[in-house]
Amino acid sequence: MINIAPNKLIHTAVSAPGAGKTQALIAQIPSLLSAGRSIVLALPTLGLTDSFVSRLPAGLSYRLINSTTCDHVGSELETALRKKANQLIITTHQSIFAVQPNLLRGWMLVVDELPPVVDFPAFPFEPSELDQLLVNAVEQDGRLHIREGCAGAIETSLATFKAVSAGAERTSMLSKEGACIYECLKDGHPVFIDSEIPNGNRYVRSVVESNCWDTFAAAEEVHVLAASVIGSQFDDFAQVHGFTYARSDFTPAFDGYTSAVTIYPVMPKGRNYSKSAVTITTHGGSATDRQKQGEPLVIDNILKEILQRTIGTPLLFSNNWASFRWLPRGAVHRCSIDSRGLNEYQGETDAILLFGGNPSPSDQLALEFLATKYGRVFRQGFIVTRFLEPSLQAATRTAVRDRSNIRPIQLFVQDGRVAEYLVSTYMPDAVIDWSLSGICPVGEDRRTTVDARRIHVCELFAQGKKNAEIARLTGVHRNTLLSWREEWRLSQAA
């Protein structure tokens, strides 16, 4: 048996959204196929498939394998990869990373956009739901494990759940959330169970790392097309798994955006955008106060002020919790936060970005687990991937990507982090205007006040104490401990 050295090189085509990475790939496909190369292209969403296919040269042979073309995507894709029946296969991220990695041997794998490399599913379970989960799982030292002899029962429960979801006339005791946790247990991912919260529920969460690295290592050659790689979660895990980068031949020439861009952060300098910061009233009351008194939230006032400055019909990117029920129909184009492939609005000059991306308390616990496992901090990669990169993608859905555009571009963004990221990546000549940042009330800055308990807490960190025990010993809230622990980790790493 011949041992094949794993491929640890990723060719990256890094350029601005709209610069022509996909077209640069398409232009070279015919010559690559003529040279006998076998290519499999993985797209992030089904929605991007039609756009890609419509741009292929007439007469080019390809095979499309996804949920719109066949019922059993996995088996169809594995058969095609094994037989090399087609020289160009088009599929999705999810599908390509679900097949056996060794089937990629002999294939050039091209991945459009960075694939997700880690997920942190977390769900609150009511006591009765948790009891159902614990029929086949057991709690031990803050984690859940498959109960001895119950692996088959979990498989059966999942099969029943999937059959019911597909429309079968059967009954499943599993909720969607329970099925997700069972899948994590079945696949060997660590599953954690947190302490009871005031309403009696308990959070169950997992850390799900992608096996895409095995697929990359098996492929003959790997190309990744993206707006950014360095500093992302993808980059963090590429380093962990020993991968290096080289410039891809699919990298397009890009001379920069030509439009005049003004960026308006809505948070004051030095303050980060978050749900808690903008879902208070202008007098500091909570969302509940607003419901009682009919007073608008800060985020409502922010949007109202922005709309007085916008031109045309701006693009609005916001979380679901920002309902804006008062917003007149047609006042904005409501857009998904995952805006990759959203190209129908590039006639508009203004974009409004009012979505968050900071780690939740559950995310922070998952990041701590990864930091312990790999000996490195993953927080900044999380911010880049979940917040800064989506903000760049959203901002570039506008006319800024149109080289012939001569109208000024206005980008209303969450905070200084986003403004600086846009300037440091593909908008170096943009002007940052802070005139909107006074809308959000500035509370007392507690960061300048040293909490007397902090020295003791850091000593407990050094002793390896867990947050729950430290909270009991010191009375410091768990959310505060999460922040302090991360800062302590960074100080230790330095």
Which of 156-160, 276-280, 361-365, 431-435 is most confident?
A: 431-435
Q: Which CATH class is domain 9-117+211-247?
A: alpha beta
Beta strands, E only, 188-260: 191-196, 202-206, 208-209, 221-226, 244-247
Here the tokens at position 354 are 């009012």
**pLDDT computed for residue 293 by the predictor:** 54
| Residue range 341-390, pLDDT digits in tens | 778 898 999 999 999 999 998 999 999 999 999 999 999 999 999 999 99
Give the mean pLDDT of 261-268.
96
- Selecting from 3.30.2320, 3.40.50, 3.30.110, 3.40.30, what CATH number does the domain 261-432 have? 3.40.50
Instruction: Say if CB 84 and CB 37 are below 8 A apart.
Output: no
Mean pLDDT, to the nearest integer, of 98-104?
95
Q: Comparing 454 with 189, which gets the higher pLDDT? A: 189
Using one digit for the tens of pLDDT, what is the confidence trace for 116-137? 999 999 999 999 999 999 999 9
Instruction: Give the per-residue pLDDT at 193.
Output: 94
Please tell me if the domain spanning 9-117+211-247 has the same topology as the one spanning 261-432.
Answer: yes
CA distance 105 to 109: 10
The proportion of the chain whose per-residue pLDDT surpasses 70, expressed as a percent, equals 92
The pLDDT value given to residue 292: 47
Return the sign of the alpha-carbon dihedral for residues 437, 438, 443, 446.
positive
Domain boundaries, the chain: 9-117+211-247, 121-206, 261-432, 446-493
Q: Are 229 and 245 in contact (CB under 8 A)?
A: yes
As a whole number of angstroms, the distance between CA 231 and CA 46 comes to: 27
Residues 207 and 4: beta-carbon distance below 8 Å: no
Question: How many CB atoms are located within 10 Å of the residue 106 CB?
Answer: 13
In the predicted structure, residue 488 carries a pLDDT above the cut 80: no
**Choice between 431 and 196, residue whose per-residue pLDDT is larger:** 431
